[in-house]
Amino acid sequence: MGDADETTPTPIPSTLPTPGSEGARTAGDRVRDLIQREGRSVTPGEVAVEALGIAGCPDPVAHRLAGDIVAGDARLAWDGDCVADAGGARDLAPLGATAFCVVDLETTGGAPGSSGITEIGAVRVEGLRVTERFSTMVDPGMPIPPHITTITGIDDSMVRGQPLIDTALPAFIEFAREDVLVAHNAPFDLRFLNYERLRLRDGYFTQPWLDTLVLSRRLLNGVVPRHDLRTLARWTGAAVRPTHRALADAEATAHVLVALIHRLAHGAATTLDHAMAIGQPGARPRSAGGEGAAAAA
């Protein structure tokens, strides 16, 4: 559902600058500078002052604002009730030794809160191969619009009696563990996941994440005619084709992820930090034939 190159709801505009945007210091950049200066994790109140210029912010509001920054910048993570730099030894691990949780959602629309999740599909990728699968339908607690049913094939009768998100999301959290999260047009899926996790008072997803849509645009510019999941799955020769159903789309995304990792310079031996520098919005583009790419997968 989060495939921005197909006909889908328009992604929700972010109220925060994109991490790494050229010519602009983001809130995440300022928080990371503060952490580096102080040499420690920082409180939500300090984040509100440094990143947003809001002094004397009530603790609950400061925590929510800090949470928005952390959720939108994979370089940051929660350390208890404080905000820390998410970097570390894991970011230097080779991609071939990294565990990924590739996730896809189907929803009733494009806006968390006014729209609900109808299906969660995910696969775990270890050693660059799929090792586990997760799939559940979700009762969104609201009618599914006809145009969404046309896209996904999911109607009200299919979700009636299925788990509510209050049950389905904890099951997904347990499956995802602390794996690197991956999705195609990842901000779409992460906004829904973080919105629902915050609503359940369980914080945010704080692990690193990659966006195969951004990776494709960086590495396959001029190689494929479009960067939608269907085109990329065909390019990689994936056996599972996207169908706007969560598990099938997650499996196709996993296949695309592995192909893009092989296309990166040094392939599976390159680091998560290197991949994150390319595979998130605002990252510096790399040409398919340059430093950021090897031979086509």
> In terms of pTM, does the model score above 0.75?
no
Task: Please state, in angstroms and rounded to a whole number, the distance separating the CA atoms of residues 136 and 124.
Answer: 15
Say which amino acid occupies 190. L
| H/E element, 173 | helix 165-176
Catalytic residue among 63, 184, 227, 244: 244
- Which residue spans within the chain are E strands per DSSP? 76-79, 82-85, 100-107, 117-126, 129-137, 180-183, 209-211
- Per-residue pLDDT of 214-267, as tens digits, reads 999 999 999 999 999 999 999 999 999 999 999 999 999 999 999 999 999 888
Contact 221, 201 (CB under 8 A): no
Could you state, in order of their start, the residue ranges of all structural domains in the chain? Answer: 27-87, 91-278
Confidence band, pLDDT 50/70/90 cuts, at residue 287: very low
- Per-residue pLDDT of 121-169, as tens digits, reads 999 999 999 999 999 999 999 999 999 999 999 999 999 999 999 999 9
Domain 91-278 architecture: 2-Layer Sandwich (3.30)
Give the torsion sign (CA, 26, 28, 33, 34).
positive
Q: Determine how many CB atoms are found less than 10 A away from the CB of residue 132.
A: 12
Question: Can you tell me the mean pLDDT for 20-25?
Answer: 45
Q: Which has the minimum average pLDDT: 6-10, 37-41, 46-50, 242-246?
A: 6-10
Catalytic residue flag (residue 244): yes
